[in-house]
Structure 1
């Protein structure tokens, strides 16, 4: 089958919160890369919580707003099917993972090395930039990372893995550090895998759902789990964290929920001069326990996406340093069945961790 015989389709939402599959650009019979671009047949794409949030709520924060018909998806891997005239490092047939953020590389932020903070970044799936959830996509070759014979679904997992790796790096986690991870969703689970690979001990993980804690422990058996009771105070949760850690106060908190009560619990549990590193995205305005932070010299850090993590992520996966990471993929759907995939991912009763959408080569 030639490319032109298989139409380009994408997964859309809009300001009315619709979710549907429809024709996408570029049309299959008009696939032409710019000189520095490649055309990729997107084979695997994971559904992120932000995709669901854009569809159901129409925005994240005050600036990321769905204002038109919008293609979702930013956790993707595929195969190169066309190469621009200036591309030297990729050829047709190369399997690649797609880093979704394309910075300008002209501003002071980019030139300082922190390209994740580029004010003009074109980040796939963040409105108004269309995402990767389509059959064919143009993408700069600079942001296509070779994965060789790595399965496409693992290539798609490199995006959330890069978030976790950047969190572990930015938090300054050291060998032997006691760590608490707040939230056993996909980012919390992959953060637990990374913390274990980095030598953290003990590692405590919290969640309000026992099934998520059980799944996290199935991947990282040495985890200590804390089920957060509904109506429980943050101080009470902090005491449970310390108890689960064998009486140790964590030095590092990786906060992966963005929920204020979870943030507070992580802060209350930390030792003097501990670090609370916020990975999760939450409400635009939240309170903090100022005096607890002050008298304990606790540092709060934040991260925005990631930078310079993808080659490292590929090496780590290929070296087998994150055993069981593929088990995070609990459900698989064809591209044409993407609406069902989103319904499954958004349904807490489905038992899904990472839902993957496939389009066969």
Structure 2
């Protein structure tokens, strides 16, 4: 293992246990031959973190043992595994928070996000990044330029979801794109659509505060579907990126799909829902899902570094490790909360 200014032999982690969180000391992990040790700088709060905190599960993923949450993370490499020769101690990196087998059919086809053996940060029983140090395969530690803040580097993770959705939708210059759901991922999907040359990018939601953020970030049009049906507000579109996961939003989206439109389901919603099959057939609509991302981090870093996407503008709160519970409940208290960020190396701000 190669290291400089080695960390102490203890680290502090934030554990979720039975809907409560507590800081607990533990040993600093040792990187394996192909891994790097990363000192965590910043971690964004994702809706999945909140869901695990409030409900203890997402679908079949159940928190049955103490779990470290957090998967939107950045940091600095502090040590290298014995076989790592493509990274350097001191490099700032955005963490792609997943380990895959690299040998299955999906990995070999480049779809490693569908690897049946994937271990994804903060998905039970795999610990995440609300801790001072983590180990990660060196290929998943993506160097970032100094022009990106620690916060922006952490938010490369949700931006990669948006890049994956845009690729799946094959957004081209001139397309009309509708994003349903103005949460952080929806806002980033709208940003990526504009960066890919979409001629018109609309955003719908039921929250006027978030729709105002979408307008400030460059949305061509916003639609509050709590006040009027989507079809009465939006003309036909070529691409729909459904980011809310809400059944009414999914179903309403088909009403504004142009013939041969591409519909990509991004937000996780109900395990089953009714879809307008006749409309899908008659209009020859393409309907597909997107699950996380694969091979998207370099493109996401490029978008952020070129100022095509403003990641820092999503940050609405900063919290130390001792304040994670406040970060996880920020959206309950503040309707303007979008992306709280946690700094594991800091106790208080």
TM-score normalized with structure 1 length: 0.90
Pair 1:237-2:239 in alignment: no
Q: Deviations over 1:195-254 (max 9, x none)?
A: 11111121110010100000111121x420001116x6xxx3222222xxxxxx101000
For residues 2 and 80 of structure 1, the distance between their equivalents in structure 2, rounded to whole angstroms, comes to 11
Q: Name 2:8's counterpart in structure 1.
A: 4
Q: Name 1:186's counterpart in structure 2.
A: 184
Q: Deviations over 1:299-323 (max 9, x none)?
A: 111011100001111112112222x
Q: Deviations over 1:80-100 (max 9, x none)?
A: 111111110112111111101
For residues 103 and 205 of structure 2, the distance between their equivalents in structure 1, rounded to whole angstroms, comes to 41
Q: Name 2:45's counterpart in structure 1.
A: 47
Shift of 1:2: 6.8
Aligned residue-pair number: 341
Q: Deviations over 1:290-343 (max 9, x none)?
A: 212122111111011100001111112112222x33110111111221111112
For residues 251 and 105 of structure 2, the distance between their equivalents in structure 1, rounded to whole angstroms, comes to 34
For residues 312 and 265 of structure 2, the distance between their equivalents in structure 1, rounded to whole angstroms, comes to 25
Pair 1:332-2:329 in alignment: no
- List alignment gaps of at least 5 residues for structure 1: 243-248
1:1-361 maps to which residues of 2 (within 5 A)? 3-4=7-8, 7-14=10-17, 16-24=18-26, 27-28=27-28, 31-62=29-60, 64-149=61-146, 150-220=148-218, 222-229=219-226, 236-242=229-235, 249-322=236-309, 324-344=310-330, 346-347=331-332, 349-360=334-345
Residue 135 of structure 2 aligns to a residue whose secondary structure is strand
Residue 283 of structure 1 aligns to a residue whose secondary structure is coil
CA RMSD for the aligned pairs?
1.7
For residues 239 and 264 of structure 1, the distance between their equivalents in structure 2, rounded to whole angstroms, comes to 15
Larger fraction in strand:
2
- List alignment gaps of at least 5 residues for structure 2: none
Bigger drift between 184-193 and 282-291 goes to: 282-291
**Contact 2:209–2:335, Cα closer than 8 Å, also in 1:** no
For residues 316 and 213 of structure 1, the distance between their equivalents in structure 2, rounded to whole angstroms, comes to 23
For residues 328 and 224 of structure 2, the distance between their equivalents in structure 1, rounded to whole angstroms, comes to 27
Q: Name 1:246's counterpart in structure 2.
A: none
Shift of 1:360: 4.7
**Contact 1:241–1:269, Cα closer than 8 Å, also in 2:** yes
Tell me: CA distance 1:144–1:291, structure 2 relative to 1, closer, same or farther (3 Å): same
For residues 60 and 286 of structure 1, the distance between their equivalents in structure 2, rounded to whole angstroms, comes to 17
TM-score normalized with structure 2 length: 0.93
**Contact 1:21–1:339, Cα closer than 8 Å, also in 2:** no
For residues 212 and 276 of structure 1, the distance between their equivalents in structure 2, rounded to whole angstroms, comes to 22
**Contact 2:132–2:345, Cα closer than 8 Å, also in 1:** no
